[in-house]
Amino acid sequence: MQAHPISAGDRLRKWGRSVIRNRWLYLLILPALVYLIIFNYLPMYGVQIAFKNYKPVRGIAGSEWVGFKHFTTFFNAYYFGRLITNTLLLNVLSLLFSFPMPIFLALVVNNIRSQRLKKFTQTAIYVPHFISTVVLAGILYILLSPTNGIINHFLVALGGKSIYFMNEASWFRPVYIISGIWQNAGWDSILYIAALAGVDPELYEAATIDGANKWQKVRYIDFPHLVPTATMMLILNCGSLLSSATQKTLLLQTGGNMATSDIIGTYVYTMGLGSGQFSYTAAIGLFVNVINFILVLSANKISDRLQGETLF
């Protein structure tokens, strides 16, 4: 065997041949690539308007630079504190209350002994996920109506007072969070149920021989098996602490609950598309996206340190 020195030209030719051999692969990935470039990467290029004074006639590239003007305006605006607080509180509380539910559901479903009931329960708890946000909001408006909603009829029958749930600032977060749990807890339990299905049955047998009861099996076998999945879900959720919730909040926002329902996302929507303040709201959006990006990277790093579970 002789060792041939490989020249750069050789390597380039080899690479070229490999590219040609795989030409169909490039063709197959092309549509998705074009889509991402147009609808994800072009907007990233367009985000420069956050540092400009965007004028439609001059276009994205042609508008004049203004530096961090829009950012300082936002940080000094009197509603800045309210927007940040509302957004963070809504997302953090929502995460806090809705995170444990799917884990609990998975443990319950996993321990149903009748296979038919198990199957039925699984099918049923996934259904709310397929209802649109608009319809969910519609159901809430109807059932929580102060005059003819079933919940208020019930409250009044019990001797209580009718509550205007959808128009009171103090009720916005509970309504948002509880309806979110109703809609998504079942669906989010899928991953946990899948994780539990992968538990080695011998573990249960060994535990039975050791005299463990069912509570102990859940505590010491099932639960630890869910920790990696739970960590991953937590990381994923941390990345959207400032951004999610816009579409649903916009639907549940009313004149009466603005004090708690006014979040960054809906503000960007009304100011940007409603009043045409493109540059200013693009700056707010960029601010949120950068924070989210930092959050998800840090969460990933922390989870890596703690238990070697990472997303990427």
Q: Name residues contacting another protein, limited to 133-162 (CB under 8 A).
A: 133-135, 137-139, 141-143, 147-150, 153-154
In angstroms, rounded to a whole number, what is the distance separating the alpha carbons of residues 39 and 43? 6
Interface with another protein by CB under 8 A: which range of 2-10, 75-83, 84-92, 122-130? Answer: 122-130
C-beta of 94 vs 300, nearer to another protein: 300
Site string for another protein, 87-106 (x = CB under 8 A): ------------------x-
Judged by CB under 8 A, the residue of 99, 289, 291, 302 near another protein is 289
Count of C-beta atoms within a 10 Å radius of residue 187: 16
Q: Are 79 and 65 in contact (CB under 8 A)?
A: no
Does 298 bind another protein (CB under 8 A)? Our answer is no
Residues 6+ apart with CB under 8 A from 7: none
Stretch that binds another protein, among 5-13, 66-74, 81-89, 206-214 (CB under 8 A): 206-214
Nearer to another protein, 93 or 139 (CB): 139
If the CB atoms of residues 2 and 161 are measured against another protein, the closer one turns out to be: 161
Chain residues 6-45 in contact with another protein, contact rule CB under 8 A: 15, 18-19, 22, 24-33, 35-36, 38-45
Which CB contacts under 8 angstroms, 24+ apart, belong to 206-215? 214/111
Q: Which residue, 229, 156, 147, is CA-closest to 190?
A: 229
Q: Which residues contact 8 (CB under 8 A, 6 or more apart)?
A: none
Of 106, 132, 131, whose CA–CA distance to 121 is shortest? 106
State in angstroms the smallest separation of the CB of 79 from another protein: 18
